[in-house]
Amino acid sequence: MTAKIIVKCIIYNRVLNKFLLMQRCENDDIGANTWENAGGNIEDGETPEAAVFREISEETGITDTEIKNIAYVSILKGELPDLLIVYLCETEMENVTISLEHQGYIWADEEKCRELLPKAIISDFEKNHVFDILRKP
């Protein structure tokens, strides 16, 4: 059995006190029109942290990202299980240049995240206290 390792990046903007959400393209084979965090597969010879910086740059154009910590690790169940490593990253950049994989983006507060993100992601955010960063004074 072979599993992929996937990094996801919860991008927190310190100035806005919001998370960046990306909307997948309407013609995407997996998750068309759904909202998600930036991220993707780790390439051969790449560390997970290098993949985080690459994926954020490729998908958002944000280049001043700081990795704060691993928010959580999860197993995605499918034909083959995938290991998902979710990093909490911070930036002060507000301008986003989306990739061809996405059709939109939004800087979202907790209420907007709960409205747009799939229930499974919200559940992971709750279980791992991800929203706590938005509640800090």
**Local mean pLDDT, 10-residue blocks, the chain (137 residues):** 85 97 91 93 94 97 95 80 92 95 96 97 95 88
Nearest alpha-carbon partner for 1 in 70, 75, 55:
75
- DSSP state at residue 121: H
Residue 69 φ/ψ, nearest 5 degrees: -170, 175
Q: What pLDDT does 17 receive?
A: 97
For 106, other C-beta atoms within 10 Å of its C-beta total 16
Closest CA to 88 of 128, 117, 54, 119: 128
Q: Residue 54 belongs to a domain with what CATH number?
A: 3.90.79.10
Q: What is the pTM of this model?
A: 0.93
Residue 37's pLDDT is: 97
Domain of 50, in residue numbers = 5-135
CA distance 10 to 20: 7
Query: What total number of domains does the chain contain?
Result: 1
